[in-house]
């Protein structure tokens, strides 16, 4: 039978795996939402990022494009911190 410390370690690793799976599950839908927001022909209107000359729209396009990477990367970073914390202070 595992001790309390081993059970806590197993729980922490399971939580980290759940965070990684959440990031992988969110990635396609976040990419689809971003693509629809940046595309002029989508049903939600879009920003028309490919043919705009407005600096504010360009900035919004860059922010939307980079934001999806930060969102998914942030979730993966949280999972990495959970694993590293368990390994270091385990």
Query: Per the domain annotation, does 2 fall within a domain?
Result: no
Query: Per the domain annotation, does 75 fall within a domain?
Result: yes
The answer, yes or no, to whether residue 2 has pLDDT greater than 80, is no
Which pLDDT band holds residue 22 (cuts at 50, 70, 90)? Answer: very high
Q: What is the pLDDT of residue 27?
A: 94
Q: Tens of pLDDT along 41-61?
A: 766 677 888 888 889 989 999
The answer, yes or no, to whether residue 67 has pLDDT greater than 90, is yes
Query: Per the domain annotation, does 59 fall within a domain?
Result: yes
Angular region, 39: left φ>0, alpha ψ -120 to 50, beta rest: beta
The answer, yes or no, to whether residue 24 has pLDDT greater than 90, is yes
32, 66, 34, 30: which is closest to 47 by C-alpha?
A: 34
The answer, yes or no, to whether residue 83 has pLDDT greater than 70, is yes
Q: What is the pLDDT of residue 49?
A: 85
Taking the C-alpha atoms of residue 81 and residue 89, their distance in angstroms, rounded to an integer, is 12
Query: Per the domain annotation, does 7 fall within a domain?
Result: no
């Amino acid at each position: 039978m595992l001790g309390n410390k081993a059970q806590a370690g197993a729980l922490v690793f399971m939580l980290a795996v759940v965070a990684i799976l959440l990031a992988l599950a969110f990635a396609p839908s976040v990419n689809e939402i971003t693509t629809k927001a940046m595309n002029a022909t989508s049903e939600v209107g879009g920003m028309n990022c490919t043919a705009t000359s407005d600096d504010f729209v360009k900035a919004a396009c860059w922010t939307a494009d980079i934001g999806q990477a930060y969102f998914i990367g942030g979730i993966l970073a949280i999972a990495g911190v959970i694993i590293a914390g368990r390994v270091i202070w385990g």
